[in-house]
Structure 1
Amino acid sequence: VFHDVAYKAKDRNDLLSGIDEFLDQVTVLPPGEWDPSIRIEPPKSVPSQVKGKKRSSLSCRKGLKEEGHHAGPELQRTGRLFGGLILDIKRKAPFFLSDFKDALSLQCLASILFLYCACMSPVITFGGLLGEATQGRISAIESLFGASLTGIAYSLFAGQPLTILGSTGPVLVFEKILFKFCRNYGLSYLSLRTSIGLWTAFLCIVLVATDASSLVCYITRFTEEAFATLICIIFIYEALEKLVDLGEVYPFNMHNDLNKLTSYSAASSYLNYWLVVSLYSGYLPELFALHFKLFSLQECLEYHGVFRGSACGHHGPYIPDVLFWSVILFFATFFLSSFLKKFKTKRYFPTKVRSTISDFAVFLTIVIMVLIDYLVGVPSPKLQVPEKFEPTRKDRGWFIDPLGGNPWWTLLIAAVPALLCTILIFMDQQITAVIINRKEHKLK
């Protein structure tokens, strides 16, 4: 009977229920005291497996129900002003020093490198999109500085420092709507955005003072899984969308006519070359600098034209296809990362080496693919990082007047969009913290 349960069990609870049922029904005889001449009659009826499965499903539901309520001491309402914050500080204080000591390990180093790569790219990319949406009011350098400042402060003082703060798609939509509103009504975007930021900070302090985090106990496991799935879908969609957009920026031509190469019009800098032509008159050649558009490809070769520039190979013009190379990099990065992540279960190398490779899977994949891209030399799109630490626009500094050139009533009306922004940030951060604090992660 237990043999069938062991093979048909769907999860750990089914297996434990089968063991309990087996121990309830079996007759155990102590070793050395059993006489082989004495036989025990077999049972008249075999116990049903349906009851065991019912008990297993009930226990599983009960466990999920208890887990879904998040009935932990950190989510209980204290009824005092800033009571939850004070208790969080008391709970975190004993582990504050050990958090820095425990970071001196190989696994933490792998996580740090992975998080650096995972955070840097979205922040700068989001900053570029924000710069396009706000016409340079807030761009990559501002997003990078804000993410660095909030990331360091949150990691040092937050109750759950493993949560990563970052801008998401809804925040970009919010900024676009706000900038369009300011442009239509002649308001200063940065001043109004500063007012909204101050109101948002005030509302977040109110939420902390009133123990609003205790409302997380009403978030079910279904909501957590739906939110985690939404995040995965957003990242997958954005990655595929970037890949499709490359087809518009770097289109491929399946009917290239190399004889018309000199008449192509392109914005690339390597096509703006002059052709060095050698005309033989008598015994000595005469050199002339003529624009290549005056000749066809065959005429260029007849006049001993020389191809120069990154678009030319040793034997003629070479046009790399950036789109296809980007697709190769995209899927090669995914498959190599998946392979290295599962390297822990392979048969190659000692256990320590396999475990180290698995921990550094993402970072090793990024380094390998960047090196391959550099060696191949195809001009694939690169991440544009600001070179100087200065505001994007020269006509402003780092500190913005909340009022600026706006009317005084904008300081009050900014509380309405700030409320929407606060709800967005609160839900995003709290659900992420709940997912991190699950029991299976075994966090203190």
Structure 2
Amino acid sequence: MDQQITAVIVNRKEHKLKKGAGYHLDLFWVAILMILCSFMGLPWYVAATVISIAHIDSLKMETQTSAPGEQPKFLGVREQRVTGIFVFLLTGLSVFMAPILKFIPMPVLYGVFLYMGVASLNGVQFMDRLQLLLMPAKHQPDLIYLRHVPQRRIHLFTFIQALCLALLWVLKSTVAAIIFPVMILALVAVRKAMDYVFSQHDLSYLDDVIPEKDKKKKEDEKKKKNKKKGSIDSEIDFVSNS
């Protein structure tokens, strides 16, 4: 489940990956490696979510030049195997570097992982909606779901997500953590139950695979076309009446 969840996040459409997802192939080789690692007494091998997202972010390509005040345009990801090979080579060599690595304080390592986790939260819709809870309406950003979904419905959806996250966190911290994967699977039933609480219109904006910025861009382009078409029709009517 860790492998599949990480693969889904990494292969989101907004990352513009070109080499394909390969979910089944990845899971097949992970299963083979788990069998080998089990026989050899080695740790199991799966994709780590935070590290994988940080890896993708480090390989993103953006335009070098842009107008003042304009955000650089995202071009895609440098898809290669060099960084992955070097990461695992260094991981293997770290076994022989134990006498040196033991001098690194644990708070330093915790700080690195904390920074990576916080940095990966940027752009996550859940975090944006949490900020909306304490943000006055006049200061709220122009988000696509704020245009189409009432705020009380947005806050209700955020509350349900936060409640599920809190329950998983508590469960993970107790002796019942062994059933954590089963609880992750139970979230499928929670999501299905939301179909009876929210309309499909609301869920299409609050829980959609299409990135929020892409939907907003398409809607803005559609509005511009309709506005341009309306102005042309008005000019034609004016000429005709004249």
TM-score normalised per structure 1: 0.30
* Structure whose alpha-carbon radius of gyration is higher: 1
TM-score normalised by the chain length of structure 2: 0.49
